[in-house]
Amino acid sequence: MPVRAISLDAESILSNLLIAVRDIHFASSVIVAGIVFFDWLIVAPVFGADLRLPATFSAFTETSQRILWLSLGVSIVSALAWLCLLSSRIAGKPFEQVIADGTIWIVLSRTQFGIAWAARILVAALLAICLPSLQKLKALPADWRGFLSALLAGFYLGLMAFAGHGEEGLGFERNVHLAADFLHLVAVGLWLGGLLPLAILLTYLRRCGEEPWLSAACNAGSRFSTLGILAVSILLISGTINASFLVGGIQSLVDTRYGRLLLLKLALFAVMVSAAAINRQYLLPRLCKADATDRSDPTAQRLVRSTLVELTLGLAIILIVGVLGITAPAVDMASHAH
């Protein structure tokens, strides 16, 4: 039996650090994928091949690219920190010892988490190399460039399914759970990850005031809203599948820490969907009918604020996800209470 060389206090600090690193990694990875998806599905069709609204496009691209590269850097560094901390927790050894004695290499090369992590770091490196190259590769149609970038970003985010409770189960059920978790993550990238670039785009459209800024804002908002419905549908279906594997009954939602955290996550999700519904049913139609010459019309600004509220709720959900990942699923606690 391996002897654990760290105290309970150190283990508690390690768990809290792991939660923080997971949160940072989730958030940064979701933003990376979200910006790439948003560029492909919203920015490209809204701005069109003739590059209307040049000042807005330039300001938006500069800001979103800065955030993309910063997030990719944070995501890679936090992925490495996650690997170190997890190796320390698995081996029950101090952080520096797992690096010095090679335990971290065993985790990376001989566990499913490690292999998935190595694949993700490879995809991150491919993203870093391919994103600038694809943007310059004018021989390839813009749709294809966007699709290839989105494919890489989707894999980068989705492969996180192999790093936690997505691995629960055996045989066919395990594969179903992994697929559901993969799609869940991609849907989070589509919706939550797209909120930040949407808020930035709407802000620049209004600030620059180039014609036809209002129809572009209406177009972007409508496209994102439709994308949001698709993403929320995927989240509901995949979330239901995940819950059926991890919760183990209504009672477990109340009786276990995992269940209560999941309930809180679902409550925040419901508020997020409500905010999105208000945007779609109330603010967006008003924006699309507004007078383009009336810059004092507050609808666009309200839509930005509402989008930022959704984003804040989404970040709160990510904080909960960080804790859920290291909490024993409710189904464990329920089955071991007997």
Partner 1 sequence: MRILISAVPSLLAALTATAAWAHAFLDHAEPRVGSTTATAPRELVLHYTQNLEPAFSSVEVSDANGARVDLGKPTISASTMRVGLKALPPGTYRVRWQVLSVDTHTTEGSFTFHVKQ
The answer to whether residue 26 forms part of the interface with partner 1 (CB under 8 A) is no
DSSP at 166 = G
In this complex, which beta carbon is closest to partner 1, that of residue 209 or of residue 325?
Answer: 325
Residue 14 as a binder of partner 1 (CB under 8 A): the answer is no
Residue 215 in tokens: 């129809």
The contact mask relative to partner 1 for 83-122 (x = CB under 8 A, - = no) is: ---x--xxx--------------xx--xxxx---------
Indicate the residue type of 216: A
Binding mask 170-209 for partner 1 (x = CB under 8 A): x--xx-----------------------------------
Name the residue among 230, 198, 217 with its Cα closest to residue 309: 198
The SS3 call for residue 7 is: coil
According to CB under 8 A, which residues from 34 to 63 bind partner 1?
A: none
Q: Spell out the residues 6+ positions from residue 206 whose beta carbon is closer than 8 angstroms to its own.
A: 213, 217, 295, 300, 301, 304
What DSSP string describes 75-101? HHHHHHHHHHHHHHHHHT--HHHHHHT
Q: Tell me the three state secondary structure of residue 137.
A: coil
* Cα distance between residue 272 and residue 256, in whole Å: 24
Our CB check for partner 1 shows the closer of 174 and 260 to be 174
Provide, rounded to whole angstroms, the least separation between the CB of residue 102 and partner 1.
12
Mark residues 208-237: x for contact with partner 1 by CB under 8 A, - for none: ---------------------x--xx--xx
219 CB neighbour count, 10 Å cutoff = 17
Is the backbone peptide bond immediately before 212 cis, with ω within 30 degrees of 0?
Answer: yes
Does position 12 interact with partner 1 (CB under 8 A)? The reply is: no
Q: Which residues contact partner 1 (rule: CB under 8 A)?
A: 1-2, 86, 89-91, 106-107, 110-113, 163-170, 173-174, 229, 232-233, 236-237, 239-241, 243-250, 253, 273, 277, 280-281, 328-329, 331-332, 334-336
